[in-house]
Structure 1
Amino acid sequence: MEFPSRQAPSRPEMSRLLSSNGEDGPSRGGFAVARMALWSVCYFAFYFGQQIAELLAPLLLVIGLGWAVLPHLIQAITTSASSADPQARDVMNHVVGSIPQQLTISGHVLTPTSLIFDGFLLMALAAIGATLSALAARNM
């Protein structure tokens, strides 16, 4: 079975077909500019959020992990140095006791676990921002 060959449209016909989507005149150009501006603002917002999240996520993770591990590390050093000077042992025990379990800053309670969790949430936000900025770039 043979199919009839179709000749491709000429270049002027192709540009006419592509340019006329049922809308003519300056209203189509204004809509395109407004659409481009909207997607540009969306792309900026998503990409900016992604950059901030990528900057803060590792910082929160490191601070949270350090804060969670530090008392255990100092306690291990103190107990392993049982033959050390009693004054040094007392100082180390005082240091371990003076590390707070939580901080309250402007009504916000910060704990090591909450900082680690916030770091992971910021990583998720960075992934969502990357996805949405890619979609916005595709629609521009």
Structure 2
Amino acid sequence: MDPRMPLSSQSSAASRSGTSGFALVRTAIWSVCYFAFYFVQQIAELFAPLLLIAGVAWAALPALVGALSKSAASADPQARDAIANVASAIPHHLVIAGHDLTASGLIWDGIMLMALAAAGATLATLAGRSM
């Protein structure tokens, strides 16, 4: 502070530097929040369609094999047995590292990731406006 400045000017200069420091900290916090929300949105947008498609395909596979076995009923008995073996080999659930995976569970997880992506986009927009 300059000793030649009037006292009121010195206090307003100190106030401005404190305010700019607060603004810098506030911008840094909102930047970290924006990064986190946008990162979550990107990850959710990447995995949501994968889980949704995998769940729908897994749920549709038994129906497709069943339709194939009905059309093969008039065909060779060996083909019918082979199709029946394939149909019985399709699992209804998988346990991977202690997690029980089902077709409907994958579909639900895909939908929830879509909702998470929408929430991340909304929160990233709000954080961007607050910066």
TM-score of Structure 1 vs Structure 2, range by shorter chain? 0.7 to 0.9
Q: Cα RMSD over matched residues?
A: 1.2
Structure with the higher fraction of residues in helix conformation: 2
Equivalent residue in structure 2 for 1:64, among 55, 64, 67: 55
The reply on whether 1:35 has 2:26 as its aligned counterpart is yes
Which residue pairs with 2:90 in the alignment? 99
Which residue pairs with 2:40 in the alignment? 49
Q: What is the Cα deviation at residue 36 of structure 1?
A: 0.5
Which residue pairs with 2:122 in the alignment? 131
Q: Secondary structure at the residue paired with 1:47?
A: helix
State the distance in 1 between where 2:26 and 2:66 align.
60
**Aligned 1:2-21 pairs, distance under 5 A:** none
Unaligned runs of 5+ in 2: 1-11
Which residue pairs with 1:79 in the alignment? 70
Equivalent residue in structure 2 for 1:119, among 91, 103, 110: 110
Which residue pairs with 1:90 in the alignment? 81
Runs of 4+ in 1 over 2 A off after TM superposition: none
State the distance in 2 between where 1:67 and 1:96 align.
12
Q: Specify the code of the residue in structure 1 equivalent to 2:67.
A: A
Q: Specify the code of the residue in structure 1 equivalent to 2:45.
A: E
Q: What is the Cα deviation at residue 44 of structure 1?
A: 0.4
Unaligned runs of 5+ in 1: 1-19
State the distance in 1 between where 2:60 and 2:16 align.
67
State the distance in 2 between where 1:27 and 1:96 align.
71
State the distance in 1 between where 2:83 and 2:25 align.
64
Q: What is the Cα deviation at residue 28 of structure 1?
A: 1.2
Q: C-alpha deviations, 1:1-45, integer Å up to 9, x for none?
A: xxxxxxxxxxxxxxxxxxx8xx82321111111101100000000
- When the two structures are superposed, what TM-score results if normalisation uses the length of structure 1? 0.82
- When the two structures are superposed, what TM-score results if normalisation uses the length of structure 2? 0.87
Which residue pairs with 2:17 in the alignment? 26
